[in-house]
């Protein structure tokens, strides 16, 4: 089997996605580290892909005291603990259509880890195919990973970057629900208000809910042709655009960042993790409804 087998999806970065078949054939490959990242904290312990380690988005990826991600030392320690070397191929998967897997991959991207993929269809596809699951935590040989400094310039956007993007007529993709986008809601449907003062969206943003990039039946990413229909014919993006994705706190939008950056190969896509919880409360910034 070829190293990567998803070229049929027509993705620009064919290495970004691997199939469950591919993962099944590389369960014991020492050059591959499989990482499960979920929203539900019980799932990994209930059973996971044999050999997979868990990366928890709150405990492992976020600074506990500052709204920010882990720093160079923290990332180096994490990678060393889960047995990843700089040349290890890291394959992410998880629940919720790989939403949290993409979020973890995005954070890893801030440290420029060279080889990363997402297992198409995520945890539920693996499970529904009747593939082996285990509760046994793998024994990993610690590495001595030396991460570079976190680089927030190319894959991450801050509020000031968004203001500059607006001035430069860049493109914004709001991946929240239509109700949130229109300002009818300041939170996800059925959820209480979590503190955004205003409802609406960042001016000029196009609304493309994140899950549109996924086949609802299989949980797999749509092929590139369908993705282009959504993001190019539908939302008017072009591959050369300077694009910023956002949602509420930057987790849903990391999924869309992955789609645009890796599956469609846009060279300039950043995820604004401050997102609406920051923008909707900021003094002196415009919104649209």
Instruction: Note the residues at the interface with other proteins (CB under 8 A).
Output: 39-43, 45-46, 56-59, 95-96, 123-124, 127, 135, 137, 188-192, 194, 248-249, 251
Quick one: 7 exposed, middle or buried, by C-beta within 10 A (0-12, 13-18, 19+)? exposed
Least separation in angstroms between residue 43's CB and other proteins is: 6
41 or 236: CB nearest other proteins:
41
Least separation in angstroms between residue 234's CB and other proteins is: 25
188 or 230: CB nearest other proteins:
188
Tokens of 221: 């990413």
Q: Distance (Å, rounded) from C-alpha 220 to C-alpha 125?
A: 8
Least separation in angstroms between residue 224's CB and other proteins is: 27
Least separation in angstroms between residue 135's CB and other proteins is: 8
Residue in this structure with the two tokens 């991450």, named with its chain if needed: 156
Least separation in angstroms between residue 202's CB and other proteins is: 20
Tokens of 33: 């580290």
Residue 102 is among the residues annotated as catalytic for this protein: no
Catalytic residue among 14, 34, 214, 247: 247
Question: Known catalytic residues?
Answer: 247
């Amino acid at each position: 089997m070829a190293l990567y087998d998803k070229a049929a999806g027509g993705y620009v970065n064919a290495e970004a996605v691997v199939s469950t078949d591919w993962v099944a054939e590389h369960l014991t490959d020492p050059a591959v580290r499989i990482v499960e990242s979920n929203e539900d904290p019980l799932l990994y312990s209930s059973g996971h892909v044999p050999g997979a380690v868990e990366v928890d988005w709150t405990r492992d990826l976020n600074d506990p005291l500052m709204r920010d991600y882990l720093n160079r030392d923290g990332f180096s320690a994490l990678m060393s603990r889960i047995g990843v070397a700089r040349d290890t191929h890291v394959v992410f998967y998880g629940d919720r259509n790989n939403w949290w897997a993409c979020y973890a991959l995005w954070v890893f991207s801030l440290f420029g880890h060279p080889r990363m993929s997402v297992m198409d269809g995520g945890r539920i596809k693996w499970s529904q195919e009747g593939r082996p699951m285990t509760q046994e935590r793998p024994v990993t040989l610690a590495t001595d990973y030396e991460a570079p400094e976190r680089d927030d310039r190319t894959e991450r956007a801050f509020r000031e970057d968004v203001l500059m993007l607006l001035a430069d007529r860049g493109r914004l993709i709001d991946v929240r629900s239509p109700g949130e986008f229109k300002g009818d809601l300041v939170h996800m449907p059925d959820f209480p208000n979590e503190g955004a003062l205003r409802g609406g969206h960042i001016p000029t943003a196009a609304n493309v809910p994140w899950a549109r990039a996924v086949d609802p039946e299989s949980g797999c990413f749509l092929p590139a042709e369908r993705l282009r229909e959504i993001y190019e014919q539908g939302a008017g993006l072009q591959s050369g655009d300077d694009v910023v994705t956002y949602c509420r706190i930057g987790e849903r939008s990391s999924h869309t960042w992955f789609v645009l950056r890796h599956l469609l190969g846009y060279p300039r896509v950043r995820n604004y993790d401050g997102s609406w919880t920051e923008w909707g409360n900021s003094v002196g910034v415009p919104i649209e409804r």
